[in-house]
Amino acid sequence: MKKIVILISGRGSNMQALLEAKLPCTIAAVISNRADATGLETAQKHGIATHVVAHRDYADRENFDAMLAKTIDAYQPDFVVLAGFMRILTATFVHHYHGKLINIHPSLLPAYAGMHTHARALQDGVKIHGCTVHFVTPDLDHGPIIIQAAVPVLANDTEQILSQRVLQEEHRVYPQAISWLCNEQISLNVHGKVEFQTHKQIGHALISPGLE
């Protein structure tokens, strides 16, 4: 059975979705860069080992990432899963986990990489927004895409309302992506694109606003 390590910085709602999904893998540990991350307590209640590697204890990203990698590697995971981990990782760290480092981002990448995705989507007046699970590369929020979920942007949406609608989809697609990985149903081809081994996609459109 595959092993994963989850990295968090806060409450870890996506981590909790993974814990509750009965994934075909062992969640070996949950690691946070913040000692006050409430997700650590959630993980402990599930009997999962937890660690804190506090970024403020290190003079630079390189030293922090080195200690983080050392903590992760003690578990020899097949995948490292970012679930609200709010640190930009160095290229050295990302290369160390090439093909093993997974993230979920609250936008339909490549649109709205970076922060404040929901506010930017509302500002631009887009009609469809969503989330993306992807492999992590040194190019921030632009790694190979595994799965995306789209939601309509409604006329009365605020940043908070839209965020909650997207988060509901995050909690659905992240467990699915990790399940595919652990069951070896997806892989990266020589062109750096995600290939499905057995899964067949069903094509249907989301149109917002709807057609009359």
For residue 10, give both structure tokens: 């806060």
Q: What is the pTM of this model?
A: 0.95
Res 145: pLDDT: 97
**Chunked in runs of 10, what are the mean pLDDT values of the chain (212 residues)?**
97 96 96 97 97 96 98 98 96 97 98 97 98 96 96 97 98 97 92 83 80 82
Res 199: pLDDT: 64
Does residue 98 have an active-site annotation?
no
Query: Exactly one of 55, 105, 118, 129 is catalytic; which is it?
Result: 105
Res 211: pLDDT: 83
Domains and CATH numbers, the chain: 2-196 (3.40.50.170)
Res 102: pLDDT: 98
Res 36: pLDDT: 97
Res 154: pLDDT: 97
Indicate the SS3 state at residue 39. helix
Query: DSSP letter string over the chain?
Result: -EEEEEEESSS-HHHHHHHHTT-SEEEEEEEES-TT-THHHHHHHTT-EEEE--GGGSSSHHHHHHHHHHHHHTT--SEEEESS---PPPHHHHHHTTTTEEEEESSSTTTT-SS-HHHHHHHHT-SEEEEEEEE--SSTT-SPEEEEEEEEPPTT--HHHHHHHHHHHHHHHHHHHHHHHHTT-EEE-TTS-EEESS---------SSPP-
Indicate the SS3 state at residue 40. helix
